Amino acid sequence: MPNEDIEAAAPIPLEGFKVHDAPTDLELYKALLDHMSDGVYVADRERRLLYSNEAAFRLTGYKPHEITGLSCQDQSPCPIGHVGHTLCRESCPLSDCMNDGSTREVKALLRHKLGRRLPVAVTIQPIRAASGSIIGAVEIFRDDSAWNEAQRKSEAMERMALLDPLTKVANRRCLDMSLTTAMREYKVTKVPFGVLVVDVDRFKTINDTFGHNCGDFALKQMAKTLVGTLRPTDIAGRWGGDEFLAIVRNVSLEVLGELAQRLVSTVSRIPFASSEGQPILLSVSAGGTLARTGDTVNELIKRADGLLYESKMAGRDRATTR
């Protein structure tokens, strides 16, 4: 919908617009725009830039005489655009706004004259003549760095809350949430899913003999191997200590067993040595099972833990799935 405020104020009296009955006190309008903290561009129907205010200069580095009369399709005088592609050339919101009369709001990267990038929030509104025809558009943009930084910190905090800081895989909280979701979906869709509980063999011995740095490295290797063994749709994480858990979706017991055996075999082939170069035998044991009708999450995990214990009792370095 056209912006009623823009309609009421149209036409904006700036050089380049051939509009009748425009106010003559152009300097007053310029002074008002120059006092804005947001950058302002004004363009005609051909997307020629007719005006830029002081804030636009501060944000872009382009002085008015450097851009006035040039088309926004030219990269150098049009600093609004995404890194990697130019809004003006692929999907120009300025042109779209003037074609349908609707306001556009976009997030973009401002390309400063000196080459640096600045995130901006851009609002583009049509400018109408007294007759109602669209004669151009005004583009208002503001520095969006603070919002971007807040968003980045928020996303980082969210990732930290769901990732194990040592292994960089999902933590216990994330796995608990994923298990609850998987169980709910299973009860509705009946699409089978299973879990694998995996434990590093003789981990305490590795820690006590070769040090915690060596133990930490073993856990990182274990996490990396677990993620690499599973499918993209599966979820793997650190359940606690030296124990890991994988949630395997849309799987049969046979496939679950194959994944578990592949994991055990892959870990046993990882070249692993102490800081002094002494070879260390690294292996894991695993237990896996499918969710059953009437299962709770706790019952499912308890059953998988029992199968892991069977693998340990049978000599370690093996998987038991049932």
pLDDT in tens, 140-164: 998 888 777 777 776 776 677 888 9
Block residue for tokens 């309609």: 7
User: In angstroms, rounded to a whole number, what is the distance separating the alpha carbons of residues 16 and 68?
Assistant: 9
Residue 158 included in any domain: no
pLDDT of residue 171: 93
Most confident of 110-114, 273-277, 309-313: 309-313
138 and 230 together in one domain: no
Residue 156 included in any domain: no
Residue 211 included in any domain: yes
246 and 167 together in one domain: yes
User: In angstroms, rounded to a whole number, what is the distance separating the alpha carbons of residues 189 and 89?
Assistant: 46
Residue 33 included in any domain: yes
pLDDT of residue 232: 85
Q: At what angle do helices 172-189 and 297-313 cross, to 10 degrees?
A: 110
138 and 171 together in one domain: no
136 and 173 together in one domain: no
Cis peptide preceding 192, ω within 30 of 0: no
Query: End of a domain among 149, 178, 199?
Result: 149
pLDDT of residue 92: 81
Above pLDDT 90, what percent of the chain?
47
Q: What CATH number is associated with residue 29?
A: 3.30.450.20
pLDDT of residue 305: 97
Residue 314 included in any domain: yes
Least confident of 107-116, 132-141, 166-175, 227-236: 107-116
CA dihedral sign of residues 295, 299, 300, 304: negative
174 and 42 together in one domain: no
203 and 225 together in one domain: yes
User: In angstroms, rounded to a whole number, what is the distance separating the alpha carbons of residues 108 and 80?
Assistant: 7
pLDDT of residue 157: 66
Residue 277 belongs to what domain range? Answer: 163-321
285 and 202 together in one domain: yes
User: In angstroms, rounded to a whole number, what is the distance separating the alpha carbons of residues 109 and 175?
Assistant: 36
Residue 157 included in any domain: no
22 and 64 together in one domain: yes
pLDDT band at 113 (very low <50, low <70, confident <90, very high): confident
Q: What CATH number is associated with residue 216?
A: 3.30.70.270
Residue 24 has pLDDT above 80, yes or no: no
Query: End of a domain among 124, 149, 174?
Result: 149
Residue 239 included in any domain: yes
pLDDT band at 109 (very low <50, low <70, confident <90, very high): confident
> Domains in the chain: how many in total?
2
190 and 312 together in one domain: yes
109 and 45 together in one domain: yes
126 and 167 together in one domain: no
Residue 62 included in any domain: yes
Tell me the C-alpha to C-alpha distance, in Å, between residue 258 and each of 61, 264, 301.
Answer: 61, 10, 19
Query: End of a domain among 149, 177, 194?
Result: 149
